[in-house]
Structures are given as structure tokens and as C-alpha cells.
Amino acid sequence: MGSRARPSSPARAPSPARVEEALDRTVAAELPRLLPRQRWFGSKGRAIAAVRAADWARLGERGWLGLVDVAFGAGADERYLVAFVLRAGAAPRGALSLPLDLAETSVRAEDAFDDPLFCRALLEGFGRGTSVSSTRGRLRFVRGDGAPTLAQAAALVPRRLSVEQSNTSVVYGDRFVLKALRRVEPGESLDYEIGAFLTSRVGFAHVPPVAGAIEYVPAAGPAATLAILQRYVPNHGGGWEWALEQLRGLRDVVITTRAQHEPIDASRLGAFVEASAASMLDALRRLGALTGGLHNALASDAADPVFAPEPITAADTGAWGRRVAADVRRTCEAVRARLDRVPPELRDQTRALAAGEGALLPRVRGLDALADAGCAKIRIHGDYHLGQTLRTDDGFVILDFEGEPDRPPAERRLKQSPLTDVAGMLRSFDYAAATAFGSSDEFAAARAAWRQLATGAFLDAYVEVLARAPVRLLPGSRLALERALAAFELDKALYEVRYEIDHRPGWIGVPLDGLSRLREPPGPQRAQRSARTRWESV
């Protein structure tokens, strides 16, 4: 009788150490090519020299949360958060799929934020208040007010949001949102720090309530925020999308009116636009009041040195002014060097900017009024625009307090004039109008009329609420406020010119129009944003 072959024993799962070694190798081999394709990777314009895994933590049976360090051909390294689940098979799925050289089977590491079981394990970590060991440190799940119980976490269905930029968001039913901060920086996230202050300390209701955070605690050095858990806020979509819908409706009204009647006379254009956009202007008044309420809340705790208002000094305004003046020169040099990128129809306007440096520099002196009037500087949003809001049944909620991602965290934590935020919002009004109406001269007058009305509506309400601030945040006179605000708008528009000429030259007309208005000296026509403005109430 011949010998019978023994049945093969089932393959043993590779040890965690072997998986980590395989992840180390595939990260180094594959991520230099794949990272620039990820929407959340911030340095797409830089040449990657190498990628190295810094740490791994195992979550669940097949999930791994990791930190990778990215070295570039020039400049500082950056650290990013990645998450993988292991899947048998050789065919890639999704935008981030890496082969693993585990000899006993074909395995790929797939983006774990697409995996419901992994995402549920993250939420269950908050339910347990878990601390998970990693190779060189640990992950800490920090429970805040309203954090989920373990039973809640197990019952909620996770869904990754398709719209993402520098972060990745997962929604759990209609209860929670987990925001993974892909770019990892030492220290507490500004969004977590400010969000917790507003919701837990001062009770500001128009931001998503913070329910917890995932922190990475290395064996040595400061902890870093990897993710923020927030309560889900029922909403009707983003403020940017809402504004475009409203403005396209206004454009259609203008087109229909012209087709059915005589052309709209210039003398009644403002009244026509105000009547046609009445509901939108009312919403922008509410947004202005909400912005004032935000700044009042951020100025409300004089006992906490991290948030306590501080006097704006002549040294502050001098430093801000020198930075803006340097940006004027840098921007003029950039447009002179890259004029060939600009569409022909915009080149005359671009040349005017390059030649008009001297007309912009005087606007910087408007900052002096902030110190002269005894205004305070506070923590601010730092990257405030329509896209950082959600529309809700009772108005808006404000999102994302990380600040401008291109600036280092220490700079984003500095206290500033709240007019920095106001200028950012007003610049986004310009972009919304340009996006909805287009650049055609056919709608130039209607676009300008709407912009003036929208700015007035927002500022009316903002200034009225700031009159109740716990400290003085704005100059008391109309002209001083206009001059200071013009300096901050100049700062924003200069950045926009540099961005557009490098990335979207066809859009450079939007900030150029703003700079053209800023070259006009502040006076009755620019200062009279709205007949109802209560400037003297501050």
C-alpha cells in the first residue's frame, strides 16, 4: 500500500513584527511614487527624496496605523499619518494600495479609512478610552464631553467622506465625525485646542462640539494630535456651495430681467440687486454677527494665558506692516517674472500691478490705527472663508481652526487682530462672485454691486456684535477701521496673486481686481460699505 500524502497544515498568519518589516520596505519603495497622487498630501510641488516609516501601531486583527517621514530634495522633512488594512490578493484597489512581500501569500496593504471594520475599531477606541502600544510609543484615545460609549461605537455605521483636502473624515451615522489629520506636527492640534476651548470652556454653540482626540505619545518628545472626534452637526452643505447657488440664481435673475425689460439702469442697479438677493444678504448679516460672536468668545478668558487678549503694540503693527510690504515687493517681482503665464487679456492689468508697487505700500500704514486705538490681539480662526462654514437650520457653523496650512504651527498660534479673519471672508466673497458670474464685462456692474452690498451686510452685523466685546478689538472711527482692514485685505490678495500665477493663471484677475480697489485711498465711497453701518458704535 502506497504512502498517503499528509494534508498541508493551514498557513500561519505572519507575526506583527514581520508585517511591520514588510510595511517598512513597501513604504520606502512605493510611497515616493504614490504620495503625490493623494489629495491629502500637501507638498505635491516638492521632489521626494525618500520615505521612511517612523512608527506602527496595530489596531484590530488586520489594521495598522502608521507615521511616515518624508524627506525632500530641499527643505524640511514632513511627517504624515497613514493607515492600512491587510488584504489577500495581488490586484490593487483604491488610490493607495501597496504590495507586501510576505512570502507565504499575496497580500496588499490598502487604505484603512476605506475599511468599515477598521473605522469602527477607531471609534471603539474612544468607547474604551484605549491606549494602544506602538513600536516606539503609544496611541492615546482621549475622551471628551459626549464621547461615545462602547455600545454606541459598535452600533454606528462608518462612512468615509469623498470630499477631502489635507484631512480624511469618517462619519459615523448621524452622531460623530472623525477627522484624521494627515500632516502630523508636534504638539496639540490647533483645531482640537481651539475647538475644545470654544465648546467645553466658553460654550460657543456654532462650532462642531469636540468629543475626543487620538494622540501619538512617542517614547521621547511632545505628543501629537492624529485625529479629532467631533459631534456630527446636521447641515445643508457648505457655505461656499450655498453662496455659488445663491449667486447663480442672482445671475439668472439679471439675465431674465434684461431679456424681458429695458436694461437695468445704473442708478437703480444697487436697489435691484439688493431686492433680488435679499435672503442671501440677510444670511450674510447672520454670518457677520456669528463671526463677531466667535471673536468675542475667543477674547473672553483673560485668565488663560493661551487665550487671554493682549494689547496690540507698535512693535506688532510694525512687524505686520514690514511683512506685508515685503509681500508687495515679492508679488510684484513674481508677476514680472511670470508674466508669460498670464492670459493675454489680463496682462495689462497684471503689468499695472507690477508697476504700481508704490500705490499699494501706503495701505500698510493703516495697521498703525490698531495700536493707536488700544485694540487687542486674540487667537483667531486663521484661514477663514466661506468654505470653512456649513449651512444649518439656524444659520452657520464654523469649521477647521488649523489656520493656514503653509504657515508653521508656532506662527499659526500667534495672537492676531481679528480683522485678519474678516479680510479672509471678504476675499472669499470676491471669489464666489467671480465663480458664479464669470469674468465677462456683461456682469461686472452687477457683480460689483453685490460685492459692496454683501460686504456691508457682513460688516454691519460684525461691528455691532464687536461693540459688546470684553475688550476693544476694533478702532472706533470709520476711516481707521477701513484703513486697517484694507491692510489685511492687501495681505490676502497678494498671496492670492502669487498662488494664481503659479497654479491657475486664468484666475489672477480676481485678486487683481481686489488690488485695484485697494489702490484707491480710503474715503467716502470705499468706506460707505452700507448705509446702515454702525462704525461709531465700537
Which pLDDT band, with edges at 50, 70 and 90, does 511 fall under? very high
Task: Quote the pLDDT of residue 89.
Answer: 73
Where a domain ends, among 89, 110, 131? 110
Where a domain ends, among 110, 130, 161? 110
Q: What is the pLDDT of residues 309-366, one digit of tens each?
A: 999 999 999 999 999 999 999 999 999 999 999 999 999 999 999 888 888 999 999 9
Residues 94 and 221 in one domain: no
CA distance 396 to 293: 12
CA distance 355 to 502: 20
Residue ranges of the alpha helices (H) in 49-174? 116-128, 150-155
Residues 406 and 436 in one domain: yes
Residues 258 and 399 in one domain: yes
Task: Quote the pLDDT of residue 162.
Answer: 84
Residues 430 and 407 in one domain: yes
The residues near 88 (Cβ < 8 Å, ≥ 6 apart) are 105, 106, 107
Mean pLDDT of 115-142: 95
Residues 192 and 56 in one domain: no
Q: Give a yes or no: residue 448 inside a domain.
A: yes
We report the CATH number of the domain holding residue 417 as 3.90.1200.10
Task: Quote the pLDDT of residue 536.
Answer: 38
10 Å CB burial of residue 270 (0-12, 13-18, 19+) is middle
Residues 379 and 311 in one domain: yes
Task: Quote the pLDDT of residue 522.
Answer: 61
Flag whether pLDDT at 24 surpasses 70.
yes
Where a domain ends, among 82, 110, 138? 110
Flag whether pLDDT at 5 surpasses 70.
no
111 DSSP β-pair partners? 84
How far CA 20 is from CA of 109, 110, 122, 525, in Å, comes to 11, 14, 20, 65
Residues 320 and 202 in one domain: no
Q: Give a yes or no: residue 331 inside a domain.
A: no
Mean pLDDT of 445-460: 95
Residue 146 structural domain = 116-231
> Which letter, b or e, does each residue of 434-449 get, where b requires 16 or more Cβ atoms within 10 Å of its Cβ?
bbbbebeeebeebbbb
Mean pLDDT of 203-218: 96
The residues near 15 (Cβ < 8 Å, ≥ 6 apart) are none
Q: Give a yes or no: residue 147 inside a domain.
A: yes
Residues 85 and 205 in one domain: no
Mean pLDDT of 93-116: 85
Lowest model confidence (mean pLDDT) among 210-224, 375-389, 515-529: 515-529
Residue that the C-alpha cell 486674540 belongs to: 378
Residues 295 and 408 in one domain: yes
Q: What is the pLDDT of residues 401-424, one digit of tens each?
A: 999 887 888 999 999 999 999 999
Amino acid at 39: R
pTM here is: 0.89
How many C-beta atoms surround the C-beta of residue 406 within 10 A?
11
Task: Quote the pLDDT of residue 104.
Answer: 65
Mean pLDDT of 164-190: 93
Q: Give a yes or no: residue 150 inside a domain.
A: yes
Task: Please count the structural domains in the chain.
Answer: 3
Q: Give a yes or no: residue 5 inside a domain.
A: no
Residues 457 and 420 in one domain: yes
481: its cell numbers:
477701521
Flag whether pLDDT at 519 surpasses 50.
yes
pLDDT mean across residues, the chain: 90
Flag whether pLDDT at 538 surpasses 60.
no
Lowest model confidence (mean pLDDT) among 138-142, 286-290, 503-507: 503-507
Residues 279 and 209 in one domain: no
